[in-house]
Chain A
């Protein structure tokens, strides 16, 4: 059996991702089940656990041990694995109380990324889903929980405002007479700052986060509110037309009168 694995894994280069994973899944079916349907399905087993050492033909003895050593269970902080792609959130996390600076993998699973997001079966990392995880440790009514939920709430408000704004902008694009360029710029800025907040929220500095989100919401609302007024103003454009129609109509009537008068004169 080990020999078979050895042979398979030696020529890993010629296999596709599915084939590579197939070798792992022979034994690790449960992990494979969790991975399927998760956001990391395309990454596969090797995306995080890797088989580079095995590929380079340094297989000796049990290749399984080789894999285990490369991403071994000993002497490292597992959140570094997540950070190899998600550097921003890990940076932010390192400044928070949820980061454990440890060399023990088991310890690192207790409070880092894995605590809230899980590992193989990461499906939904939306703010509303992750927020439920807080209650597993933080008591309702506790200061940390209140601050956290307040900050998340403000960020959700901002996102709702932003979605409404973007919908309205899409509706108004190319419609005559309603200026939207400033609102579009504000919505773009809000999108960018929301993305920054999504990274920074891993630092758990909820007071700053809540203030930033509230500020962002106010700024966006201030930019967005004039739109309704502009639509109303455009609907009132007929007031502009009235003077022209009145003058032109009067002129036409008077020209007609003059024409009639001229005809009468030349006929008489």
Chain B
């Protein structure tokens, strides 16, 4: 049967050649990208399933997520995979980015590989952020309000009106389901095509890659995801109340450094503009033979972000402890 398909589409030959050029038999690192790609596809699949039940309305959204979590058969499982998939996808993407930085895979002539990856990261972050708003629990509402306030003069575009309403939900839903995934898909296509091109040209004498490492890594990720989804299934908190400003409401962990930096006013804007600028500028700045300064700078930046993130994670507990002691 696969011969029937092969003679009509040439799929096996094309895939084999592509995978052979993308993967290297030498190291595990490229498997990370493959795992991220698999997780992205899984997010799309579970996302479609969730969208069959989600109601993009200001009043109905939370109830529809409650229904998915409690009433729909295996709804809790689909949602838990989608939630844990977000965490794993973002973590894998960051690890992949860090690994690529260390190995210098962003240097000429691979600048566009790196830049398409940065665009992909931005799209994934956008998707994650808008996705967290959709259940309209307290975190969700807070996220929408923060996005609107950060947008400054464009706040009405974010909110779809003067206040949070059905229009806001429609916009966040469309962004999460169509806009950001489409950008991500294009970025992935560009990224993989460029990697294939450069791998063929770059590694002379390297044996043709085999996809086994990537397959193993993917299977491992799938198993880890399944275990997480079953062990720690995602529920949903109470409906968000826009009139409350509840303390200790945090965004996704990946946004914690920004959350912490925003408390300092200018530091927040600095991070929001500076970090993407640094990522985009990297291939053009890192040209010299001596990579040490850039590497050290990179590690310092990563450490700084980690510290900011931990501070952001901890602040609520400190404030809560102080409040209860009072």
Direct contact between A and B in the complex (CB less than 8 angstroms)? Answer: yes
Q: Are the C-beta atoms of B238 and A174 separated by less than 8 Å? A: yes
Residues of B within 8 A of A238 (CB): 230
Contacts of B223 in A (CB 8 A): 244-245, 248-249, 252
| Cβ-defined contact, A177 with B212, below 8 A | no
User: Does the CB pair A176–B215 fall under 8 Å?
Assistant: no
**How far, in angstroms, from A255 to B215 measured CA to CA in the complex?**
8
Q: Is A181 a contact of B71 with CB atoms below 8 Å?
A: yes
CB closest residue in chain A, given B208 = A266
A contact residues around B207 at 8 Å (CB): 266
The answer to whether the Cβ of A37 comes within 8 Å of any Cβ in the partner chain is no
Nearest CB in chain B: distance from A128 CB, A: 33
Contact partner of B69 (CB less than 8 A), chosen from A176, A237, A259, is A176
**Would you call A179 and B71 a contact (CB within 8 A)?**
yes
Name which of B70, B76, B223, B233 has the most chain A CB atoms within 10 A of its CB. Answer: B70
- Does B226 make an interface contact (CB < 8 A)? yes
Given contacts A181-B71, A259-B212, contact A176 B234 (CB under 8 A): yes
Q: Determine whether B219 belongs to the interface, using a CB cutoff of 8 Å to chain A.
A: yes
Given the known interface contacts A176-B233, A176-B234, the answer about A262 and B210 at a Cβ–Cβ threshold of 8 Å is yes
A258 at the interface (CB under 8 A from B): yes
Asked whether, in the complex, the Cβ of B212 is within 8 Å of the Cβ of A262, the reply is yes
Whether B222 sits at the interface, judged by CB under 8 Å, is yes
Given contacts A176-B70, A249-B223, contact A255 B234 (CB under 8 A): no
User: Quick check: is B99 within 8 A (CB to CB) of the other chain?
Assistant: no
B137 → chain A closest CB, angstroms: 9
Q: With A245-B226, A248-B223, A262-B210 in contact, do A177 and B70 touch (Cβ < 8 Å)?
A: yes
Give the docked Cα–Cα distance between A238 and B226 (Å).
Answer: 10
The distance in angstroms between the C-alpha atoms of A256 and B25, with both chains bound, is 13
What B residues does A181 contact at CB under 8 A? 67, 70-71
Distance between Cα atoms of A245 and B223 in the complex (Å) = 6
Contacts of A248 in B (CB 8 A): 219, 222-223, 226
Taking a contact as CB atoms under 8 Å apart, the answer to whether A237 and B216 are in contact is no
Q: Is the CB of B70 within 8 A of A178?
A: yes
**What 3 A-B pairs have minimum CB-CB distances, sorted nearest first?**
A176-B76, A259-B212, A176-B233
Interface string of B218-252 (1 = CB under 8 A from A): 01101100110010011111100000000000000
B residues contacting A by CB (< 8 A) are 25, 66-67, 69-71, 76-77, 79-80, 207, 210, 212-213, 215-216, 219-220, 222-223, 226-227, 230, 233-238
Task: Check A241 for interface membership: any CB of B closer than 8 A.
Answer: yes
Say yes or no: is A201 at the interface (Cβ < 8 Å to chain B): no
**Contacting pair B219 A255 (CB below 8 A):** yes
Best-surrounded residue of A172, A174, A244, A262 (most CB of chain B within 10 A): A174
Cα-based distance from A172 to B66 in the complex (angstroms): 11
Interface centre among B79, B233, B234 (most CB of A within 10 A): B233
Residues in B neighbouring A255, C-beta threshold 8 A:
212, 215-216, 219
Chain A, residues 227-244, CB within 8 Å of chain B (1/0): the string is 000000000011011001
The distance in angstroms between the C-alpha atoms of A177 and B236, with both chains bound, is: 11
A259, B226: Cα distance in complex, Å = 24
Given contacts A175-B235, A176-B69, A245-B226, 13 further A-B pairs with CB under 8 A are A174-B66, A175-B70, A176-B79, A177-B69, A177-B76, A178-B70, A179-B71, A181-B70, A241-B227, A248-B222, A248-B223, A252-B216, A252-B223
Cross-chain pairs A/B with CB under 8 angstroms, 9 sampled: A174-B237, A176-B80, A177-B69, A177-B70, A177-B233, A181-B70, A237-B230, A245-B226, A245-B227
> Closest CB-CB distance, A249 to chain B, in whole Å?
7
B235 surroundings in chain A (CB, below 8 A): 174-176
Distance, CA A174 to CA B69, complexed state (A)? 7
Q: Do the beta carbons of A244 and B226 come within 8 Å of each other?
A: yes
Check: A173 CB closer than 8 A to any chain B CB. yes
- Count of chain A residues with a beta carbon within 8 Å of a chain B beta carbon: 27
Chain A contacts for B71, CB-based, 8 A: 179-181
CB nearest to B213 among chain A residues: A259
Please give, as numbers and ranges, the residues of chain A lying within 8 Å of B215 by CB-CB distance: 255
Q: Chain A contacts of B237 at CB under 8 A?
A: 174
The reply to whether B216 and A259 contact each other, CB–CB distance below 8 Å, is yes
- Collect the chain B residues with CB atoms within 8 Å of residue A256's CB: 212, 216
Q: Which residue of A lies closest to B237 (CB)?
A: A174
Other-chain residue from A173, A240, A241, A259 in contact with B66 (beta carbon distance below 8 A): A173
Q: Which residues between 156 and 187 of chain A lie within 8 Å of chain B, taking CB atoms?
A: 172-181
Complex Cα–Cα for A192 and B25 (A): 70
CA distance A240 to B236 in the complex (A): 22
Q: Which residues of chain B come closer than 8 Å to A240, judged between CB atoms? A: 77, 230
Known: A252-B219, A252-B220. A258 touches B238 (CB 8 A): no
Most chain A beta-carbon neighbours within 10 Å: one of B207, B219, B234: B219
Using CB atoms, name the residue of chain B closest to A181: B71
A175 to B233, CA, bound (A): 9
- Measured between beta carbons, the chain B residues less than 8 angstroms from A241 are 226-227, 230
Which residues on the A side are within 8 Å of B67 (C-beta)?
Answer: 181
Report B-chain residues with C-beta under 8 Å of the C-beta of A252.
216, 219-220, 223
Does A48 reach chain B (CB closer than 8 Å)? no
Structural contact, A180 and B70, CB atoms closer than 8 A? yes
The distance in angstroms between the C-alpha atoms of A262 and B238, with both chains bound, is 54
- Which residue of chain A has the shortest Cβ distance to B238 in the bound complex? A174
| Chain A residues within an 8 Å CB radius of B219 | 248, 251-252, 255
Q: How far is the CA of A252 from the CA of B22 in the complex (A)?
A: 20
The CA-CA distance from A88 to B207 in the complex, in Å, is 89
